[in-house]
């Protein structure tokens, strides 16, 4: 009897474990529909519909297609009625997408037409008209050659448009499909996209509208990615492209590439290959913006080293050394800390923005902070919100696996797979570094070179900080040979340098700045 009960429990657990959400089923259904496997798509859509009948507008459309293709007339009629009553359905959409199905000749078309009339009559026409004029201004200026004067004009138009949009929202409400239609909602989204000051606020409202099936998921994906790109953080949906130094396009850094198309389909976006090819990238290039990390990460390494050293030595830095790059960089929090502290003297607003990024790039209040107190106070005020934004990019499934790792060898296999980058894993800032340091404490003279060869590969891909690498190398070198290899680690006492005449060449090999140059720059700046 016990065996039978056990078997039953195992069967139940199997099916529970296999249970799928409506979103997962909708993703597979759309994939099947786009592959012309309509029977499979229909079955999956039916399952998703039984779980959650509040199916998004575009999912309803693809569900309708499958019903048409398998000739289920009753379901076709039902879905068309549901489409006609959904917030995103408009006459233009009907005329464009349904002609090839000869829908106009159906006996129930008059009912559908009347439903559309009701939907359209409930919309706010003055709001729609205003949004159309504003969107035209937004796009007309961007059709011109992008000179400094045109950029200034665009900034003025963007500012005026956003001020008008905020007043209209205050008067009528948020521009959802129900209120202003699909085109009106898109026009409002376009205006908000070009307003860095208010885009975060708009995103929160837009997310709520999408949750209510009252705004476009494509637009949400683009806005999410745009904000992440503005903050030099990896994107979620792969909508944002960038330019390499040679002028060629590439896909900007994107989380969890293995599941990218799954995320894109759920947001009604085409497969990433199709997206890139439509942008003129015939040979799809999934370059992530790192290249050689040491040169891509810091466009001007010398300036960065100078900034760090000036700050740490409390020396005023000459204007010529002011450094910060907004190119696609996934910063280490300690770098941002140095930059924020330095710029606090020159540009408080910029310093605050940079300090907040420390949280967006994984720093917690439990970590060591060396910020000026006013910057720290500002970060604390909005910490919870910033942390929530950071955690949205974390691959929680992988993060749990890493937290459970106790073996360095297991970690090596994971990192060598190259599937994930530190920006996807919260554990990188604590658990992974702990495993790496623990391993370094067990090294012998015979195996430490192999270990650091492997670790430097993590530096080159942006997973490990160059400074941390050099300091750890010095720690091990001092423990084994009682000398410092790179002269990077401060042991609290004067330590002999290993082959001192070759020190600068060793530092140069891994792109550490010359110690002599650092010393001279600090001396000159203090005079």
Same domain, 76 and 197: no
- Residue indicated by tokens 């008059």: 110
**Which two tokens mark 286?**
């999934």
Which range scores top for mean pLDDT: 175-189, 232-246, 445-459? 175-189
Helix (H) or strand (E) holding 242: strand 241-243
pTM, two decimals, is 0.79
Q: What count of other Cβ atoms lies within 10 Å of the Cβ of residue 292? A: 10
Does some domain include residue 59?
Answer: yes
Same domain? 318 vs 193: no
Of the candidates 436, 435, 444, 434, the residue with the CA atom closest to the CA atom of residue 481: 444
Lowest-pLDDT range of 175-179, 316-320, 385-389? 316-320
Confidence (pLDDT) at 287: 40
Alpha-carbon distance of 415 to 422, in angstroms, equals 10
Asked whether residue 364 falls in the same domain as residue 440, the answer is no
- Cα dist from 399 to 24, 176, 373, 404, 430, whole Å: 21, 36, 32, 9, 11
Radius of gyration of the chain (CA): 28
Q: Kindly state whether residues 346 and 475 are assigned to the same domain.
A: no
* Structure confidence at residue 300 (pLDDT): 56
pLDDT band at 107 (very low <50, low <70, confident <90, very high): low
Q: How far apart are the two ends of the chain, measured CA to CA in Å?
A: 89
Distance from the Cα of residue 295 to its chain's centroid: 22
Q: Which of 278, 313, 347 is the C-terminal boundary of a domain?
A: 278
Higher pLDDT, 399 or 308: 399
Indicate if 520 and 382 belong to the same structural domain: no
What pLDDT, in 10s, does the model give residues 489-518? Answer: 766 667 889 998 999 899 888 878 777 655
My answer on whether 200 and 255 are in the same domain is: yes
Number of domains in the chain: 4
Residues 229 and 184 in one domain: yes
Owning domain of residue 138: 125-278
β-pair partners for 249: 243
Residue 288 in domain: no
pLDDT at 380: 96
Question: How many whole angstroms separate alpha carbon 363 and alpha carbon 333?
Answer: 6
The dihedral formed by the CA atoms of 28, 29, 33 and 38, expressed in degrees to the nearest 10: 120
3-state DSSP assignment of residue 497 = strand
Contacts of residue 447, Cβ cutoff 8 Å, sequence gap at least 6: none
pLDDT tens sequence across 220-268: 999 999 999 888 888 999 999 877 667 777 788 888 888 888 889 888 8
Same domain, 387 and 423: no
Tokens of 99: 């002609």
- CA pair distance 138, 153, nearest whole angstrom: 10
Q: Are residues 51 and 191 both part of a single domain?
A: no
Contact residues for 29 (Cβ-Cβ < 8 A; gap 6+): 40, 41, 44, 45, 48, 59, 62, 63, 66
273 is a domain residue: yes
Distance from C-alpha of 498 to C-alpha of 487, rounded to nearest angstrom: 9
Pairing of the two strands 241-243 and 249-251: antiparallel
Q: Are residues 349 and 372 in the same domain?
A: yes
In terms of Cα–Cα distance, which of 458, 470, 460, 450 is closest to 416?
458
Measured in residues, the chain has a length of: 527
On whether residue 284 sits in a domain, the answer given is no
Q: Does 271 share its domain with 133?
A: yes
Q: Is residue 301 part of a domain?
A: yes
Query: Residue 185 in contact with residue 176, Cβ under 8 Å?
Result: yes
Q: What is the pLDDT of residue 317?
A: 59
- Pick the last residue of a domain from 243, 278, 313: 278
Same domain? For 306 and 328 the reply is yes
Give the rounded distance of the alpha carbon of 171 from its chain centre: 33
Model confidence at 302, pLDDT cuts 50, 70, 90, reads low
Asked if residue 285 is part of any domain, the answer here is: no
Q: What is the pLDDT of residues 381-421, one digit of tens each?
A: 999 999 999 998 888 888 888 888 888 888 888 888 777 78
Last-in-domain residue among 278, 307, 330: 278
Alpha helices in 392-489 (DSSP H): 396-403, 408-416, 431-440, 448-460, 466-481
CA proximity to 511, closest of 467, 447, 479, 475: 467
Which residue has tokens 């992440």? 228
Whether residue 287 lies inside any domain: the answer is no
- Tell whether 471 is covered by a domain: yes
**Under a CB-based contact definition with an 8 Å cutoff, are residues 25 and 47 in contact?**
yes
Cα–Cα distance for residue pair 459/292, rounded to 1 Å: 10
């Amino acid at each position: 009897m016990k065996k039978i009960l056990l078997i039953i429990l195992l069967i139940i657990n199997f099916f529970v474990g296999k249970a799928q959400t409506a979103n997962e089923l909708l993703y597979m259904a759309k994939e099947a529909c786009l592959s012309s496997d309509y029977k499979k798509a229909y079955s999956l859509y039916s399952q998703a519909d039984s779980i959650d009948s509040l199916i998004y507008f575009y999912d309803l459309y693809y569900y309708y297609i499958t019903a048409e293709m398998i000739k289920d007339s009753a379901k076709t009629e039902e879905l068309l009625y549901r489409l006609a009553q959904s917030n995103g359905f408009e006459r233009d959409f009907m005329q464009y997408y349904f002609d090839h199905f000869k829908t106009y000749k159906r006996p129930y078309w008059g009912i559908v037409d009347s439903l559309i009339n009701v939907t359209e009559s409930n919309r706010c026409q003055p709001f729609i008209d205003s949004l159309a004029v504003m969107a035209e201004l937004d796009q007309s200026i961007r059709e011109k050659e992008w000179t400094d004067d045109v950029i200034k004009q665009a900034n003025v138009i963007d500012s005026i448009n956003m001020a008008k949009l905020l007043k209209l929202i205050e008067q009528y409400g948020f521009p959802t499909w129900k209120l202003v239609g699909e085109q009106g909602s898109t026009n409002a989204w376009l205006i908000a996209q070009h307003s860095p000051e208010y885009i975060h606020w708009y995103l929160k409202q837009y997310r709520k509208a999408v949750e209510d099936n009252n705004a476009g998921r494509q637009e949400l994906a683009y806005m999410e990615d745009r904000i992440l790109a503005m903050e030099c953080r990896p994107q979620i949906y792969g909508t944002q492209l960038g330019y390499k130094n040679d002028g060629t396009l590439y896909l900007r850094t994107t989380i969890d590439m293995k599941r990218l198309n799954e995320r894109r389909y759920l947001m009604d976006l085409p497969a990433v290959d199709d997206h890139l090819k439509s942008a003129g990238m015939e040979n799809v290039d999934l370059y992530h913006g790192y290249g050689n990390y040491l040169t891509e990460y810091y466009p001007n390494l010398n300036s960065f080293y100078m900034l760090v050293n000036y700050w740490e030595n409390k020396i005023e830095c000459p204007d010529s050394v002011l450094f910060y790059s907004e190119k696609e960089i996934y910063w280490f929090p300690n770098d941002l800390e140095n930059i924020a502290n330095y710029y606090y003297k020159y540009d408080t607003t910029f310093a605050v923005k940079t300090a907040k990024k420390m949280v967006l790039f994984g720093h917690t209040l439990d970590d060591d902070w060396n910020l000026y107190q006013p910057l720290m106070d500002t970060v604390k005020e909005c910490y919870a919100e910033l942390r929530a934004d950071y955690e949205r990019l974390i691959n929680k499934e992988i993060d749990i696996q890493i937290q459970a790792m106790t073996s360095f060898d297991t970690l090596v296999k994971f990192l060598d797979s190259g599937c994930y980058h530190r920006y996807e894993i919260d554990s990188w800032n604590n658990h992974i570094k702990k495993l790496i340091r623990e391993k370094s404490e067990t090294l012998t003279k015979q195996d430490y070179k192999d270990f650091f060869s492997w670790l430097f590969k993590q530096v080159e891909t942006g997973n490990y900080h160059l400074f941390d690498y050099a300091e750890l190398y010095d720690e091990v070198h001092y423990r084994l040979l009682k000398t410092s290899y790179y002269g990077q680690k401060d042991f609290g006492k004067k330590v002999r340098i290993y082959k001192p005449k070759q020190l600068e060449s060793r530092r140069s090999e891994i792109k550490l700045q010359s110690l002599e140059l650092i010393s001279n720059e600090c001396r000159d700046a203090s005079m």
